[in-house]
Amino acid sequence: MKEANLTHGESGGTTPLAILGAAFQRVTNHPAFNRLSGVIPAAYFFLMVLAEAQDLVQLAREAGNMNAEWLANSASSAAKILFLSLIVVLFLVRKPPISKASGLQPRVVALAGAFLLVAIVLLPPPEPSLGQSLAGLALVAIGSVFSVIAIGYLGRSFSIMAEARELVTHGVYSLVRHPLYLAEEIAVLGVIVIYFSLPALALLFLHIALQIQRMKNEENILREAFPAYGAYMTRTSRLIPGIY
């Protein structure tokens, strides 16, 4: 989710697909597109902030019935509001990209990976046990807090798409190349614990596959944009220190 300007033109060709690809590349490289690609997702995530804030207000009204599940729900909701609010701000103030991955695949994978979990609302409503709820909400809260930390280091280099803005290798990024994805998967795992079923588990595996491809796409563009990225890759793990 970060960072440089090489433009990646489509290979020369006069086929309809090549012409369409070249036109798509010109549109996505236009400054107006870059501005909209920040404003539109900022508006979307702002709506998510409002929805979470509404849930938190409702929880506050139920403070008289405070118990372990209430505390877990409140902590999870507050952490998500912090995380989503930071995303809104960074989408509006982030630096313009220096380089972008070309083609449709990186963009489709990025969007699918970012928003696939919305489909979980289509599954049968969960009836989790108290233990499931507490474990799931705790994972969501932990993942959200860790996401805030990772985004804090990314700062104005944040992006959903595979784009190069600035090479970030300090802080948590000195430990693994994609700490934000690791944090997000912790939160996603929490959601799956609450909604646990075979379809939810299948959704998790598909989400992980998409996220791994997103990491590869980002590594490709960062390696092209920053000569130092190759050395950084050799000394860091992709996601889990010493394992992967």
Residue 242 in domain: no
The answer to whether the CB of 191 falls within 8 A of the CB of 140 is yes
Residue 69 in domain: yes
Query: Does residue 233 carry a pLDDT above 90?
Result: yes
Nearest-angstrom CA–CA distance, 66 and 59: 9
Q: What is the pLDDT of residues 16-47, one digit of tens each?
A: 655 555 555 665 566 666 677 778 889 999 99
Q: What is the pLDDT of residues 141-171, one digit of tens each?
A: 999 999 999 999 999 999 899 999 999 999 9
Residue 38 in domain: yes
pTM: 0.80
Residue 7 in domain: no
Nearest-angstrom CA–CA distance, 70 and 59: 7
pLDDT of residue 30: 60
Report the sign of the C-alpha dihedral through residues 214, 49, 99, 102, in that order: positive
* Number of folded domains that form the chain: 1
Which CATH number does the domain housing residue 132 bear? 1.20.120.1630
pLDDT of residue 4: 38
Comparing CA positions, the residue from 3, 20, 148, 33 lying closest to residue 89 is 148
Residue 168 in domain: yes
Query: Does residue 8 carry a pLDDT above 80?
Result: no
Q: pLDDT class for 1, splitting at 50, 70, 90?
A: very low
Percent of the chain with pLDDT over 70: 86
Residue 40 in domain: yes
Residue type, 226: F
Question: What is the span of the domain harbouring residue 133?
Answer: 16-235
Comparing CA positions, the residue from 180, 149, 114, 162 lying closest to residue 2 is 162
Residue 166 in domain: yes
Query: Does residue 226 carry a pLDDT above 50?
Result: yes
Percent of the chain with pLDDT over 90: 61
Residue 240 in domain: no
Across all residues in the chain, what is the average pLDDT?
86
Report the sign of the C-alpha dihedral through residues 27, 33, 34, 38, in that order: negative
